[in-house]
Amino acid sequence: MNLIFDLDGTLTDPEEGIVACIRYALEGLDRMESGEGDLTWCIGPPLRDSFAKLLDSDDPVLVEEAVTLYRERFAAKGLHENRVYDGIPDLLARLTEAGRAVPRHLEGAALRRRDPAPFPARQPFPRHLRCRDGRPVR
């Protein structure tokens, strides 16, 4: 039996990168006051919904500008700003030793863009790491 894990939020904690990218987008729109305080509630829900709420706007152009800025920083930095949860490397090693193949499933535009830059948080478990389309992540 193969096991499939999502990376962000399951094997790694993406909070640092996601929150920094949201703040970057709000700064870029000169709306930083919207990004003060706790932004962890933005992790999980659709990005456009979070920006619409943060910007207090249903303007699709403004929301799309925020998403573009978010993705700009995420592709350059945010993708790498996460940490592996405690115990995950050991868990994956034990599953592999028990005869379970442990492929990892990654999503997101930044990962699908074939970026050859190493992804620091995956260093403890590089075997079987695959993007949604089946390509190995380097």
For the stretch 65-98, pLDDT in tens is 999 999 999 989 998 888 888 888 788 778 777 8
Strand partners, 105: 6, 130
Q: What pLDDT does 130 receive?
A: 55
Find the catalytic residue in 6, 49, 59, 90.
6
CA distance 69 to 25: 5
Q: What pLDDT does 110 receive?
A: 41
pTM above 0.95, yes or no: no
Domains of the chain: 5-12+83-131 (no CATH), 14-80 (1.10.150.240)
Q: Is 6 a catalytic residue?
A: yes
Low-confidence ranges of the chain (pLDDT < 70): 1-4, 6, 101-138
Q: What pLDDT does 79 receive?
A: 82
CA quadruple 9, 117, 50, 41: dihedral, nearest 10:
30
CA distance 42 to 127: 31
